[in-house]
Chains A and B, each alone.
Chain A
Amino acid sequence: MMDDSVLARVHRVVVTTAGATRTPPDPGPDTPLGEAGFWLDSVELVEVIVACEEEFGVTFDGETDLTPETLATVRSLAALIRSKGGQ
């Protein structure tokens, strides 16, 4: 259950990109976006990032913001979006 609005919206974006077949049975905020989680590859992660930019009206810095740590889980991505002023 995700009662945090940013977390829930990021989760929705990720599930839409991953599709029903790759979304794990019980995904949570700490489910990995990549291996052993949603299995998103680099190109699909970019799809998620662009969708989040549109959803939250934020812009990322490709050099400093998008790291394995910030793109590890729905929670870490939501934290990045909040740090960029996304509501």
Chain B
Amino acid sequence: MTREPASRPSEAAGLRALWRARPAHYSRALWVLMLGLDILPWPWGEDILARLFMAVGAVRASRRRRATAWARAHPGYRPWRLAAALSAFRGRWVARSWLLGLRCPDDLRRHLVVRGEEHLTAMPGAAILLGFHLGPPNADLALRILGHRLTWLGGQRISRGWWREAWRPFLDSSQHLAPSWGEERFWSGLVYRARRILLDGGNVFLMADGAGRGMFRVSLPARAALIKPGWLVLHRHTGARVLPVLTHLEGRTQVITIHPPLPMSGSDPAGEGGAWRDTLTSLLKSYVRQFPEQCPALVFSFRSRPDVGEEQERPERRASALTGEDARTL
């Protein structure tokens, strides 16, 4: 069954509905620009947006300062060139998350490559695919376009592209666990349904990092990535394998790399947690070294859709944020 929330505008609803559908984290100017660029065939809109973000990144002092500081933390690159590439990639990120100019999944399919697929297909049984806010968005979508059956657990998809008929099957409620448009965020039922899917042998894709309650931090240049505990809880209650998934752009092609499953001893949860932290730290550090221009989420403050476990601040978390201490719950 295709999810059809009452508050989602259809294409036929016209410009007024499109205007009203503007998410809070998009400025009016950016929303109008996106609607305009979406008319162009892919990748024209994406290229324009990348150049625009690069220009704005050079003009706006706060963005330029952050991008340059990030670039200087990466020896071997010309700082101004890396800063410009980072700003441009941010534009591509926004375009890809919006499916800008992508009329149907086939437009994207031709530019997708998966590496390490054997890690997912070699063993039967449930798998938790662990994404990160690095590189282009929608790695889960890319895998689904390429024929992998998995369920997304995370924030709403906000873009005009999702209203097109060709993309709607990807919002099927059995493979898309996200709060409905206009619905109060309430994740527990969605996380519980993800657990059921895993118990039935299915695959679930969710983001490992973000805001909210942290399990541990991975120290990276400029900013630490906060690893959240949702995936660990799902693993503990289902025994599903956990496979980190990273993605990057090579030219116009999105490469999705599925890494080997995190080691599971089954007998020593504390030791397992330490090994997982080390594995994830090594993966993320290696990614940042290799693709520093594809990490805008580590440099700029993204006002993006809230994700699992980002709904409320507990008193002691506010305190730990103020003191800069890790909220270690593992």
Contacts and interface: CB of A to CB of B under 8 A. Distances in A.
Interface of A: 21-22, 34-35, 39, 41-43, 45-47, 49-50, 60, 62-63, 65-68, 71
Given A66-B189, A66-B192, A41 B237 contact: no
Contact of B188 (A22, A35, A39, A46): A46
A67 B316 contact: no
Contacts of B212: 41
Interface in B192-213: 192-193, 195-196, 212-213
Nearest to A59: B196
A62 B196 contact: yes
Given A21-B316, A43-B229, A63 B311 contact: no
B317 to A, nearest CB: 9
Contact size range, B: 20 to 34
Contact of B314 (A22, A46, A66): A22
B3 to A, nearest CB: 11
A66 B187 CA distance: 9
Contact of A42 (B191, B195, B315, B316): B191
Given A41-B213, A42-B309, A47-B233, A67 B314 contact: no
10 contacts: A41-B314, A42-B311, A45-B188, A46-B195, A60-B192, A62-B192, A66-B192, A67-B189, A68-B184, A68-B186
